[in-house]
């Protein structure tokens, strides 16, 4: 299937063939009939992409700071890879569309094949022939619905949320500042609700369009003579009950103008992208105005549980969610209480999408809404897409399932270039990522179906997906008789671990987890120095806080930071002392969100060694992130951020300092592939991997039992 993409680095826009999207749990596959171009949001994205690197940097100072921070901590190589991944990636465009359901995922009950639907969401409701959308970002339409109008779904829901935040009653008044698509739609919704609407815009054409279609009761340009007095007269001398700012500008004029025209104790709702640094006097303070933000489509937006898991908020407690806002907007269209047909001033066939965006950027002629129309008679294929002419196979034939930021920065670039190593296929959730990774790293194809990367041409699978799918993909790979490398953790459930142990015993294939730190050059030197005597070890991690709504903190998807990250450090201590963990106790600092991400862990090992892991999310980022101390038979050592190693023994301490941090990713991938080439074995024993994974589970158990020591 075909999708519109753009590279952030070059600004190149192209419609390209990408793999058919995967239908995940709680998702529907939709064949698009129409999608809408948002001149504001998408237009600014396209304009930014077409700027020089300096221009991009000026527009994104926060991202420039992140690059500088990465450079300081990880060095130029990792920083370069991270930046180029962003610049070279195929970025999908679009976030509002309508079409028909052609496939439903597991657990979906409210949709069926053939339903007409409207969809929303950046990364989901793209400009593409086929899209995969979570159920809470998709609404069912009446059979007779006009799909071109319905494709305004996202924009309508955003405007609807702005109106709801204004909380107006029948007969009250509202000024809408900015009569672009969002402001125009907000005015239509307000008018249908019995609110007196006054529209303001810097463009005479935008005001004229609103007046000509009876969208506003009064339309004025911002620079009209006596504009404030006219608004005061229209509101019987009181001022507007509410002001909705739907403009997009860096100027403070909209927020200060809103203060001037709102009545005392009125509301000002920010719907567009404007600064809010208003002047305190003479209006905002004296009128005791209320400033409110409208968060996109409404409650549920940016909530992983709502959007990705499809768990709805109970209607009696959250009357208007983002999905219910979409449904309300579509109901206005179906019942013809609002008419938006005239908003589509331009319609382009999908294969002419680039010309449509050229119009948005150049503004060579007036436009309001721009619609892309799709050829729905075209057959859609799930076949894999060839990205290389190579067909030969070697001794190690690698396919990737998942290929996100970590894989692109640390795994894929480090696969050895050898005649006996073949890069076969790539499978990811998004077709754009699959295609770009397959092309950049010279794989033979990118795919939609798991069977394509688990067939006889692949004998080694790299799993680099979100944590919740690690266990299932490792199991499927073993059952398909493949060697498997999985980015940590191995799995999130003890039942998955049991199944993996059994499957590995049957397949007798190598299983490797991405515990890279043990492969760091400084770790190699440290282990050689401390030897095999029983030792005491301290590993302190200044991990920093991660918001509770981040996917890694979600118990079902990310497993939390103990299963998702602390396993790294358990493995490291296991490797250093050379024996398996036998007992563990752990206690976590109480926190309001019960994240268990600030904790101390004490581990006992078979050879008598002991190790303490201090994993802290409550510290300062200015401090070194990872620090290790080891004490053994008269020798002590410290390792700081995998850049500096100090050995203390007889005489003067010996110091080794690297120019750049090296956590061993390259050495790890090389060791894994070379192990398969030599004898089909992984460089970490399966016994160690199982023990580390079990210990991670037992850490959670010990915390639940009040820090009690637990046998592993």
In the β-sheet with 654-657, what is the strand arrangement from edge to edge? 654-657, 644-648, 635-640, 626-632, 536-542, 610-616, 599-605, 581-588, 710-711
166, 167, 171, 172 alpha-carbon torsion, rounded to 10° = -40
In this prediction, residue 686 carries a pLDDT of: 98
Q: Got the DSSP string for 387-409?
A: --S-----SEEEEEE---HHIII
What Cα–Cα distance (Å) separates residue 278 from each residue in 281, 285, 356? 9, 10, 36
Q: Which helix or strand (DSSP H or E) is residue 648 part of?
A: strand 644-648
Q: Does the pLDDT of residue 271 top 80, yes or no?
A: yes
Angle at the Cα of 619 from the Cα atoms of 617 and 621, rounded to 5 degrees:
100
Phi and psi (nearest 5°) for 26?
75, 20
In this prediction, residue 58 carries a pLDDT of: 52
In this prediction, residue 363 carries a pLDDT of: 81
What Cα–Cα distance (Å) separates residue 319 from each residue in 186, 324, 595? 19, 8, 29
406-455 pLDDT per residue, tens: 999 999 999 999 999 999 999 998 889 999 999 999 999 999 999 999 99
Find the range with the poorest average confidence among 61-70, 380-389, 483-492, 615-624: 61-70
Tokens coding 392: 């030969």
Q: Which helix or strand (DSSP H or E) is residue 6 part of?
A: strand 2-7
595, 597, 601, 606 alpha-carbon torsion, rounded to 10° = 90
For the chain, the average pLDDT equals 93
Asked whether the beta carbons of 209 and 229 are under 8 A apart, the reply is no
Residue 73's pLDDT band (boundaries 50, 70, 90)? low
Residue 402 to residue 383: CA distance in whole angstroms: 18
562-578 pLDDT per residue, tens: 999 999 999 999 999 99
Which has the closest alpha carbon to 492: 473, 478, 479? 473
Burial label for 5, CB within 10 Å (0-12, 13-18, 19+), is: buried
Average pLDDT of the residues in 463-488: 98
Q: What pairing do the DSSP bridges indicate for beta strands 460-463 and 396-401?
A: parallel
3-state secondary structure of 43: helix
In this prediction, residue 85 carries a pLDDT of: 55
Q: Does the pLDDT of residue 4 top 90, yes or no?
A: yes
Asked whether the beta carbons of 32 and 128 are under 8 A apart, the reply is yes
Q: Does the pLDDT of residue 59 top 60, yes or no?
A: no
Higher pLDDT, 157 or 359: 157
In this prediction, residue 528 carries a pLDDT of: 95
Asked whether the beta carbons of 100 and 114 are under 8 A apart, the reply is yes
Which has the closest alpha carbon to 567: 419, 467, 423, 418? 467
Angle at the Cα of 250 from the Cα atoms of 299 and 7, rounded to 5 degrees:
75
- Residues listed for the chain: 712
Residue 66's pLDDT band (boundaries 50, 70, 90)? low
What Cα–Cα distance (Å) separates residue 29 from each residue in 108, 142, 143? 11, 18, 18
Q: Is the pTM of this model over 0.85?
A: yes
Query: Per residue in 667-685, is it b (16+ CB within 10 Å) or e — as a string?
Result: bbbbbbbebbeeeeebbbe
Q: Does the pLDDT of residue 397 top 50, yes or no?
A: yes
Tokens coding 712: 């592993």
Residue 154 to residue 466: CA distance in whole angstroms: 27
Query: Per residue in 150-164, is it b (16+ CB within 10 Å) or e — as a string?
Result: bbbbbbbbbbbbbbb
Close Cβ partners of 334 (under 8 Å, ≥ 6 residues apart): 141, 142, 144, 145
Average pLDDT of the residues in 304-310: 93
In this prediction, residue 91 carries a pLDDT of: 84
Q: Does the pLDDT of residue 327 top 80, yes or no?
A: yes
Tokens 């995922």 belong to residue: 105
201-244 pLDDT per residue, tens: 999 999 999 999 999 999 999 999 999 999 999 999 999 999 99
Which has the closest alpha carbon to 327: 315, 317, 316, 343? 315
Q: Is the peptide bond before 489 cis (omega within 30 degrees of 0)?
A: yes
Q: Does the pLDDT of residue 57 top 60, yes or no?
A: no
In this prediction, residue 56 carries a pLDDT of: 47
Q: Which helix or strand (DSSP H or E) is residue 158 part of?
A: helix 153-166
In this prediction, residue 390 carries a pLDDT of: 87
What Cα–Cα distance (Å) separates residue 358 from each residue in 383, 494, 601? 32, 54, 58
Residue 47 to residue 50: CA distance in whole angstroms: 5
Close Cβ partners of 598 (under 8 Å, ≥ 6 residues apart): 588, 589, 591, 615, 616, 617, 618
Tokens coding 11: 């600004």
Close Cβ partners of 515 (under 8 Å, ≥ 6 residues apart): 488, 567, 568, 571, 572, 575, 668, 684, 692
Residue 272 to residue 296: CA distance in whole angstroms: 10
Q: Is the dihedral of CA 412, 552, 616, 86 positive or negative?
A: positive
Report the Cα–Cα distance between both ends of the chain, in Å, rounded. Answer: 50
Which has the closest alpha carbon to 547: 561, 529, 564? 561
Asked whether the beta carbons of 703 and 596 are under 8 A apart, the reply is yes
Domains and CATH numbers, the chain: 2-152+340-373 (3.90.180.10), 168-293 (3.40.50.720), 394-513 (3.40.50.720), 516-711 (3.30.360.10)
Phi and psi (nearest 5°) for 226?
60, 35
Q: Got the DSSP string for 514-583?
A: --GGGGSHHHHHHHHHHTTS--EEEEEEE-----TTSGGGSTTTT-HHIIIIIHHHHHHHHHHHTS-EEE
Other Cβ atoms less than 10 A from the Cβ of 128: the count is 29
Asked whether the beta carbons of 143 and 166 are under 8 A apart, the reply is no
Asked whether the beta carbons of 650 and 519 are under 8 A apart, the reply is no
Phi and psi (nearest 5°) for 421?
-115, 120
Average pLDDT of the residues in 629-639: 96
Close Cβ partners of 177 (under 8 Å, ≥ 6 residues apart): 183, 200, 201, 222, 243, 244, 245, 246, 247, 254, 257, 258
Query: Per residue in 306-339, is it b (16+ CB within 10 Å) or e — as a string?
Result: bbbbbeebeeeeeebbbbbbbbbbbebbeeeebe
77-124 pLDDT per residue, tens: 666 666 655 666 678 899 999 999 999 999 999 999 999 999 999 999
Q: What pairing do the DSSP bridges indicate for beta strands 536-542 and 581-588?
A: unpaired
Give the DSSP letter of residue 414.
G
Longest CA pairwise span in the chain (Å): 90
Residue 536 to residue 521: CA distance in whole angstroms: 21
């Amino acid at each position: 299937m075909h999708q519109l993409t753009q590279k952030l680095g070059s600004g190149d826009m192209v419609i390209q063939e990408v793999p058919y999207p995967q239908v995940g749990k709680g998702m529907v596959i939709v064949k698009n009939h129409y999608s809408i171009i948002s001149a504001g949001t998408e237009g600014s994205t396209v304009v930014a992409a077409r700027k020089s690197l300096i221009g991009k940097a000026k527009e994104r100072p926060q991202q420039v700071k992140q690059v500088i921070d990465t450079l300081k901590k990880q060095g130029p190589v990792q920083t370069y890879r991270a930046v180029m991944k962003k610049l070279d990636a195929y970025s999908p465009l679009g976030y509002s569309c309508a079409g028909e359901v052609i496939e439903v995922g597991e657990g979906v009950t409210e949709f069926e094949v053939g339903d007409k639907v409207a969809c929303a969401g950046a990364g989901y409701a793209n400009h593409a022939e086929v899209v995969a959308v979570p159920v809470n970002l998709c609404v069912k339409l009446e059979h007779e619905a006009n799909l071109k109008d319905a494709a305004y779904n996202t924009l309508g829901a955003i405007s609807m949320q702005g109106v709801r935040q204004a909380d107006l009653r029948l007969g009250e008044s509202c000024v809408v500042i900015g009569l672009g698509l969002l402001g125009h739609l907000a005015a239509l919704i307000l008018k249908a609700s019995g609110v007196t609407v006054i529209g303001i815009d810097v463009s005479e054409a935008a005001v004229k369009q609103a007046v000509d279609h009876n969208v506003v009761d009064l339309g004025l340009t911002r620079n009209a003579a006596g504009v404030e007095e006219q608004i005061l007269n229209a509101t019987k001398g009181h001022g507007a009950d509410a002001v909705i700012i739907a403009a997009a500008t860096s100027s403070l004029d909209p927020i200060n103008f809103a203060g001037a025209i709102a009545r005392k104790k009125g509301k000002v709702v920010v719907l567009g992208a404007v600064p809010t640094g208003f002047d305190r006097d003479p209006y905002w303070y004296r009128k005791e105005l209320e400033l409110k933000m409208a968060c996109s489509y409404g409650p549920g937006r940016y909530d992983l549980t709502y959007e990705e898991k499809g768990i709805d908020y109970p209607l009696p407690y959250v009357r208007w969610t983002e999905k219910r806002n979409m449904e309300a907007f579509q109901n206005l269209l179906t019942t013809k209480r609002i008419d938006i047909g005239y908003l589509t001033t331009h319609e382009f066939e999908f294969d002419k999408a680039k010309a449509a965006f050229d119009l948005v950027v150049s503004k060579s002629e007036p436009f309001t809404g721009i619609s892309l129309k799709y050829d729905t008679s075209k057959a859609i294929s799930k076949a894999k897409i060839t990205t290389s002419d190579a067909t030969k196979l070697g001794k190690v034939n690698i396919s990737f399932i998942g290929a996100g930021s970590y894989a692109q920065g640390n795994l894929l670039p480090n696969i050895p270039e050898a005649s006996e190593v073949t890069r076969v296929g790539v499978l990811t959730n998004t077709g754009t990522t699959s295609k770009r990774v397959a092309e950049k790293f010279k794989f033979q194809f990118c795919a939609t179906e798991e069977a394509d990367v688990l067939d006889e041409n692949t004998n080694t699978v790299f799993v680099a997906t979100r944590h919740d799918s690690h266990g299932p993909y490792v199991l499927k790979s073993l059952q398909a008789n493949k060697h498997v490398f999985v980015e940590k953790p191995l799995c999130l459930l003890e039942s998955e671990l049991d199944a993996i142990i059994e499957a590995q015993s049957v397949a007798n294939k190598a299983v490797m987890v991405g515990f890279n730190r043990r492969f760091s050059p400084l770790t190699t030197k440290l282990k050689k120095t401390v030897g095999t005597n029983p030792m005491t070890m301290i590993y302190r991690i200044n991990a920093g806080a991660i918001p509770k709504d981040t996917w890694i903190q979600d118990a079902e998807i990310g497993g939390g930071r103990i299963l998702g990250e602390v396993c790294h450090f358990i493995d490291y201590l296991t490797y250093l002392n050379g024996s398996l963990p036998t007992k563990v106790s752990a206690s976590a600092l109480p926190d309001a969100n019960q994240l268990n991400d600030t904790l101390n862990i004490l581990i006992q090992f078979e050879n008598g060694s002991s190790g303490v892991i201090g994993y802290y999310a409550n510290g300062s980022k200015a401090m070194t992130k990872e620090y290790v101390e080891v004490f053994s038979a008269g020798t002590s050592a410290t390792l700081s951020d995998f850049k500096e190693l100090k050995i203390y023994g007889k005489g003067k301490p010996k110091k080794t300092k690297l120019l750049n941090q090296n956590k061993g990713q390259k050495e790890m991938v090389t060791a894994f592939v070379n192990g398969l080439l030599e004898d089909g074995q992984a460089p970490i024993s399966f016994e160690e991997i199982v023990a580390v994974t079990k210990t991670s589970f037992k850490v959670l158990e010990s915390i639940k039992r009040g820090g009690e020591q637990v046998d592993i």
